[in-house]
Amino acid sequence: MVYSFYIPLTFTSTLYLSHHFESLINSYIISKIGIQDHFIPPELASSLRYNLQNLFSRNKFHLGGTGNDIIDDSKVFRGDSIHWLDRKHEDTFENMFFDLIDAFVLYLNEYCYAGIKSYEFHYTLYPVGSFYKKHLDQFRNNDSRQFSMIIYLNADWHKNDGGELKVYKDSKSHLISPTSGKLVFFKSSELEHEVLITNKERISITGWLKS
């Protein structure tokens, strides 16, 4: 059947989004790691990259912690700095990002009965030479984090830049390169992972869907 009307394939189109999410969920179901190379469109990725770099240059980032707000010796465990996104910032691109996440959460709750009630996301910057040692994305005394999502914003990433996400699964490990627009999605309590030492400044948005 040929439709005579035009369905815009923009990222706000519900039709396009559900197709997008379906292939992501399929890759998650098959391999426990959902990966989508172009989860956010290039224009939105470059606006968020601009936001991140602007906030970092204005000293709005702080060191990431390891437990429930315990920073202690975390620098030997993780070397990244973070800044939380918030709709209250009334930033156009942050809000577009949250609109996309909202659509994804709706999809997960409707088609996968995921029971997601809230989420949290931060901008992340790993300086040259930093890493994040092998860990699970759950706090010792709080298991509300259901799914981890990492969206990379690195415009120009080459193999020798390092900084791969290494995910451990079934006694094997998988290396994922942090290229711009890519989303990685997995169950927070299930897969141990680490960030290998980066030879170039490495940027992303990291977040958790919570029950």
Binding stretches for Ni ion (CB under 5 A): 137
Smallest distance, ligand OGA to C-beta of residue 158, A? 17
Which listed option, ligand OGA, Ni ion, none, makes contact with residue 51 (CB within 5 to 8 Å by class)?
none
Smallest distance, Ni ion to C-beta of residue 97, A? 19
Q: Concatenated DSSP letters for the chain?
A: ----S----STT-HHHHHHHHHHHHHHHHHHS-EEETTSS-HHHHHHHHHHHHHHHHTT--EE--SSSS--TTGGGTB--EEEE--GGG--HHHHHHHHHHHHHHHHHHHHH-----EEEEEEEEE-TT--EEEE-S-BTTB--EEEEEEEE-BSS--GGGB--EEEEETTEEEEE--BTT-EEEEETTT--EEEPPBSS-EEEEEEEEE-
Binding site for ligand OGA (CB under 6 A): 132, 137, 150, 165, 178, 193, 195, 204, 206
Task: Tell the residue number behind the tokens 């290998």, with chain if given.
Answer: 196
Which listed option, ligand OGA, Ni ion, none, makes contact with residue 151 (CB within 5 to 8 Å by class)?
none
Closest to Ni ion by CB, 80 or 137:
137
Closest to ligand OGA by CB, 11 or 126:
126
Which listed option, Ni ion, ligand OGA, none, makes contact with residue 44 (CB within 5 to 8 Å by class)?
none
Residue nearest to Ni ion (CB): 137
Which listed option, ligand OGA, Ni ion, none, makes contact with residue 165 (CB within 5 to 8 Å by class)?
ligand OGA
Closest to ligand OGA by CB, 85 or 195:
195
Smallest distance, Ni ion to C-beta of residue 42, A? 25
Smallest distance, ligand OGA to C-beta of residue 180, A? 13
Beta carbons within 10 angstroms of residue 78's beta carbon: 21
Which listed option, ligand OGA, Ni ion, none, makes contact with residue 94 (CB within 5 to 8 Å by class)?
none
